[in-house]
A = this chain, B = another copy of it.
Amino acid sequence: MPLQPVLVNAAWREALSPVGSFQAFNPSTGTRLKDIYPISSFAEVEEALEAGHAAANALFKTLPEAIAAFLENFAGSIESHADELVEIAHLETALPKEPRLKSTELPRTTNQLRQAAQAARGRSWCRATIDTKANIRSKYGPLGGPVVVFGPNNFPFAFNSAAGGDFAAAIAAGNPVLAKANPGHPGTTKMFAELAFESVKKAGLPRGIFQLIYHLRPEDGLRLVSHHLVGATSFTGSRPAGLRLKEAAEKAGKLIYLEMSSVNPIFILPGALKERADSIASDLFNSCMMGAGQFCTKPGLVVLVRDEHGEEFLRIVRKLFEQPPTGFLLGQNVLDGIESAIKTMKNAGAQIVTGGEKLEGAGFRYANTLLRVSGDIFLQNPAALQQEAFGTVTLAVFAEDFDQMTKVAVALEGNLTASIYSHSADLDENLYTRLEPILRRKVGRLLNDKMPTGVAVSPAMVHGGPFPASGHPGFTAVGIPASLLRFAALQSYDNVRPNRLPPALQDKNPTGHMWRLIDGEWTQRDI
């Protein structure tokens, strides 16, 4: 069987001297799928980087309107091929077709592309800043090299390297994208890439604006992200892989954005527990089992006080977790990851309340798993006990008292999110006031009375946070236009002649409604 083609240097073609091949799995049966994909050689990577770099040059003068038209055309094309996309993604990930793939993730994906198009067209994202007195003008502009996107396994549509949020943000900011498919769903990614490339041609954009390879040897991944032609890399995936890429990229002075791991702690204050243990338990379970627990924002840690209400809460949660899992894990590596994380937690003193074992039968499945540990033991080994286990797994930490809850908060690493549940009136207000400052600096998004799964595509969303949740707490991977700023350089024009300024910085507002910061005032007017 021939290897599937790559999209490199403006054409679909056979891989150039591939160094190996691979197949994806059907997670619901555990068997290999038939299509065979190449593991690219570094020569192929270098050709793609050269082509991407040339495209970055060509994009320098491309109008945002053309980029917007491409993104919108692509969104429409995805909708026209929704059934095929859902079919292959379901085959490769075993995620439910309905509502997950077709009615939730696919519309989210096209919505992101359209929001990115709107951002590109509107131009306000680039934060044009004009000092009329000094005649200095600045804005964010493209990086001048291709953005390499490593997509994760868990969102074959919305975070796909060929259609997801990073793709949309990098393109909307005026950069070419070199997509590295997640090996869990190469067929889905290839189908997106085919549609994207058709839309590139229709929009008349430089064809090197988008390229696709499927897989690399680990050492070639490190060479890729540190290559001098790369503009930036965006990686969503496991912490060990992310840390290796981070070190390689940064040593070479290259930008890399990472979304690596997070346990998304849920703190339940005593008043809330007394008031509504049932509804919080059900919130927790529903959040933990979304996507079979394979969400970056899955709550992996629940912190509460050990008293009768805490124990009663755990009994309710246990009942919910005792149900058999409804979904499959995305791959053998996810199953291995859960086993390893649970082993680490058990070795550190956590006890299994329910679950804790692989399930027999076809496909990749693990029992819903609830663990518990005392605050004392947690504080003795906080690193081992804040393991991300990618599945329906959560650890309840029973603190002696509220003081110990705050100590648990202090011992947390950087996370994407933290939630605080409190009494609906003001019974927990004092405790909240003490806990919040500790958690606020540790997370990108702080929630009240709400589970963190369901990351709204809002301009005010922050999907990021302090290391090791991400690599830089000043950025977000979700939320347009903010997510574009990861892929932009701040550029000023000092005494540059009016006719040579980019339209966004000329006296006349280029769209009539672009927001610009002129002499300290945000305005849509001309100068």
How far is A136 from B456 in the complex, measured between Cα atoms in Å? 9
- Among A465-524, those with CB < 8 Å from B are 465-468, 471-476, 479, 482, 485-486, 488-497, 500, 515, 517, 520-523
- Contact flag A491-B61 (CB < 8 Å), given A136-B456, A253-B471, A474-B485: no
A494 and B136 form a contact (CB under 8 A): no
How far is A479 from B490 in the complex, measured between Cα atoms in Å? 12
A134 and B456 form a contact (CB under 8 A): yes
How far is A421 from B351 in the complex, measured between Cα atoms in Å? 72
Q: Say yes or no: is A137 at the interface (Cβ < 8 Å to chain B).
A: yes
B459 and A129 form a contact (CB under 8 A): yes
Q: Say yes or no: is A23 at the interface (Cβ < 8 Å to chain B).
A: no
A213 CB to closest chain B CB, in angstroms?
A: 24
- Contact flag A517-B441 (CB < 8 Å), given A253-B468, A447-B494, A495-B450: no
How many residues in A have their beta carbons less than 8 Å from beta carbons of B?
A: 79
B-chain residues with CB within 8 Å of residue A486 when the two chains form the complex: 474
A247 and B251 form a contact (CB under 8 A): yes
How far is A471 from B489 in the complex, measured between Cα atoms in Å? 12
Q: Say yes or no: is A207 at the interface (Cβ < 8 Å to chain B).
A: no
B-chain residues with CB within 8 Å of residue A143 when the two chains form the complex: 441, 473
How far is A417 from B493 in the complex, measured between Cα atoms in Å? 10
- Contact flag A142-B490 (CB < 8 Å), given A448-B495, A496-B446, A520-B459: no
Point out which of A131, A253, A456 has the most chain B C-beta atoms below 10 A from its C-beta. A253
How far is A472 from B471 in the complex, measured between Cα atoms in Å? 13
Question: Of A26-34, A309-317, A385-393, A432-440, which binds chain B?
Answer: A432-440
- Contact flag A131-B449 (CB < 8 Å), given A143-B441, A441-B142, A500-B432: no
- Among A409-455, those with CB < 8 Å from B are 414, 417, 432, 436-437, 440-450, 452
From A473, which residue of chain B is reached at the shortest CB distance? B489
Q: B134, B251, B448, B464: which contacts A458 (Cβ < 8 A)?
A: B134
How far is A170 from B61 in the complex, measured between Cα atoms in Å? 36
A101 CB to closest chain B CB, in angstroms?
A: 23
B467 and A490 form a contact (CB under 8 A): no
B460 and A492 form a contact (CB under 8 A): yes
From A441, which residue of chain B is reached at the shortest CB distance? B144
B-chain residues with CB within 8 Å of residue A131 when the two chains form the complex: 456, 458-461
A461 and B492 form a contact (CB under 8 A): yes
Q: Say yes or no: is A250 at the interface (Cβ < 8 Å to chain B).
A: yes
Q: Say yes or no: is A246 at the interface (Cβ < 8 Å to chain B).
A: yes
B-chain residues with CB within 8 Å of residue A461 when the two chains form the complex: 131, 136, 138, 492, 494
- Among A332-374, those with CB < 8 Å from B are none
B-chain residues with CB within 8 Å of residue A432 when the two chains form the complex: 500
Q: Say yes or no: is A402 at the interface (Cβ < 8 Å to chain B).
A: no
Q: Say yes or no: is A304 at the interface (Cβ < 8 Å to chain B).
A: no
What residues of chain A have their CB less than 8 Å away from a CB belonging to chain B? 56-57, 60-61, 129-131, 134, 136-138, 140-145, 246-247, 250-251, 253-255, 414, 417, 432, 436-437, 440-450, 452, 456, 458-462, 464-468, 471-476, 479, 482, 485-486, 488-497, 500, 515, 517, 520-523
> Would you list 23 pairs from A and B whose C-beta atoms are within 8 A, ordered by A residue?
A57-B437, A60-B440, A129-B459, A131-B459, A134-B456, A136-B458, A136-B460, A138-B462, A141-B440, A144-B440, A144-B442, A247-B250, A250-B250, A253-B467, A432-B500, A444-B491, A446-B491, A452-B494, A456-B494, A459-B520, A473-B490, A474-B485, A476-B490
> Which 8 residue pairs spanning A and B have beta carbons closest together?
A144-B441, A253-B467, A522-B522, A473-B489, A462-B492, A136-B460, A138-B460, A131-B458
- Known A445-B491, A474-B485; 17 more pairs at CB < 8 Å: A129-B460, A134-B456, A138-B460, A144-B441, A253-B467, A443-B491, A444-B490, A444-B492, A445-B493, A445-B494, A446-B493, A446-B494, A464-B490, A473-B489, A473-B490, A474-B486, A476-B490
